[in-house]
Structure 1
Amino acid sequence: MSMHFSVLASGSSGNAFYIETEEHSFLVDAGLSCKKIGQLMELIDRDPAKLDGIFVTHEHSDHIKGLGVMARKYKLPVYANERTWKAMDGMLGEISTDQKFTFGMETVKSFGSLDVESFGVSHDAAEPMFYIFRMGDKKLVLITDTGYVSDRMKGIIEDADVYIFESNHDTELLRMGRYPWNVKRRILSDVGHVSNEDAALAMSEVVGDRTKRIYLAHLSKDNNMKDLARMSVAQTLASRGIEIGTQFELFDTDPAIPTELSAV
């Protein structure tokens, strides 16, 4: 038995991640319209009507835009921590009480052979958290929307087979770009988003012998480019003695095109 996954969409315009085992299938976040998420799932030959639930990371619109409609249309359980549920109050429309489940910070829930662990990140939301998926000896980590990666986070996420890792912006592009300074300051802060270089520095401390793939996620449309992110991450890792292609590969994600459905 194994996990399969696809980054359906990743970026400031909307985020959704799909993961399945032979027993269950889930989304993490639903930051696009219900219709668009259905179309993206069709591209990986999967049916949203067969989902078993949605895990929520935090209440920002690029992570929950389609959540209410998805939950109502497909009668899906939704999992979020208490503070996130409170923050989403009034943002989702009516969701039946029996579809609302609390997933506490730094706890584990099991769904058959799949263990899902939540962990906190540093972002300007009520109580943002991301997830680790484990099945047997396999481990997949999803971490975006954090201003920095603390030692505590590094200890939790170290030595995964696969990482979906935020690489949001190039610092110089952001500083020179068109955003107002208050927005730039927010992105650059400890509760904003990690840069390409800072992401790579964190990666250099958590990748392990079993790490095979890293997906660069949540790239800014205005302050980053796929080629630039890959180059910056590869150069920073090389400066730490880690060569891309020797131990693991780097992959892109996209705001409108899902990654190939892949096994962990």
Structure 2
Amino acid sequence: MIKVDILASGSGGNCVALTTDQSTVLIDAGVAKTKIEKRLLEVGIKPNDIEAIFVTHAHGDHIKGLPLANKYRILVYATYGEWKGISGVDDELQQLVETLHGVYETINLSGVIVQPFRTHHDAYEPIGYTVTDGETKVSICLDTGKVDAEMLAAMSGSDSYIIEANHEPAMVEASDYPHTVQARILSDIGHLSNEQTATALQRLVQGRGEKIFLTHLSSRNNMPILAEMTVKQSLIKRGLIAGKHYEIEVV
């Protein structure tokens, strides 16, 4: 069983803790080190029990707290492209997420198997992850402008989906953001809209009691109730009802 604790979510910072009987791993560390330490302790995790930090991409709201790694001697995994944007992690802690024949290699740690997959974001080499302990599978898909067939295949069969529902396009277009920023958010290398997230989940959720965590909501271009209702309405089309066939939480 993998316990999910979302320690931070949104443009202010992102950090997810996944805990098994044997170990804890973090996906991203995008808030200050002291905040991560505090939030870990609040959910009953000691920082020195973290085995590894897996970085999705090197934007500040995903890597700000990486000094945590040096303090507690935690391995940090990132792709070759994303290491270009990361500094300050001690050399001996830097681990490369590698490809073999164009496919990301599986990472085996004590108690968990981590499988990276490609995402689409305006970073060097962004990725998402699936994490399994052999019984439970968790998918983490944060910043991406679209969800393709390869991503769906990687995430299929998960028990928990941690996925961004960043914005409502009409709210972005009506915002005071410069047109260049609006275009970036709405692009295939920007962020997922509520509808895109709902469409992906409609393909993924089977009604086996899966848990959906909607994350990385824009504070200016989305509303929690809007994100939740868009997903629920999409899943109703497949006969899936929240609370009966799956659980949903907006973070």
Question: With structure 1 as the length reference, what TM-score do the two structures score?
Answer: 0.89
Q: Distance in 1 between matches of 2:199 and 2:240?
A: 11
User: What is the Cα deviation at residue 182 of structure 1?
Assistant: 0.7
The two structures, once aligned, show a CA RMSD in angstroms of 1.4
Higher strand residue share: 2
Structure 2: distance between partners of 1:237 and 1:150? 19
Answer whether contact 1:104 1:118 (CA < 8 A) is retained: no
- Code of the residue aligned with 2:94 in structure 1: it is K
Deviations 1:61-105 (A, max 9, x none): 0000111x11221121111111111232xxx32x32211111125
1:35 corresponds in structure 2 to 34
Question: Equivalents in 2 of 1:104, 1:150: separation in Å?
Answer: 21
Instruction: Tell me, in whole angstroms, the C-alpha distance in 2 between the residues paired with 1:59 and 1:205.
Output: 29
CA shift digits 1:99-157 (9 cap, x unpaired): 11111252211112311100010111000001101112321101110101001111111
Partner of 1:98: 92
Q: Identical aligned pairs, as a percentage?
A: 37
* Cα drift, residue 239 of structure 1: 3.4
* Secondary structure in structure 2 of the residue aligned to 1:98: helix
Tell whether the 8 Å contact from 1:14 to 1:31 is kept in structure 2 after alignment: yes
Counterpart of 1:19?
18
**Which structure 1 segments of 5+ residues have no match?**
254-264
The answer as to 2:196 corresponding to 1:198 is yes
> Could you tell me which residue of structure 2 aligns to residue 259 of structure 1?
none
Higher alpha-carbon deviation: 79-88 or 182-191:
79-88
Q: Which runs of 5+ in 2 are unaligned?
A: none
Cα distance in 2 between the residues matched to 1:209 and 1:113: 27
Aligned length: 247
TM-score scaled by length of structure 2:
0.94
Could you tell me which residue of structure 2 aligns to residue 154 of structure 1? 152
- Dislocated runs of 4+, deviation >4 Å: none
Q: 1:143 aligns with which of 141, 144, 155?
A: 141
Distance across 2 between alignment mates of 1:136 and 1:154: 20
Which of 42, 52, 77 matches 2:75? Answer: 77
Q: Is this contact kept in 1: 2:207–2:246, CA < 8 A?
A: no
Tell me if structure 2 keeps the 8 A contact 1:167–1:196: yes
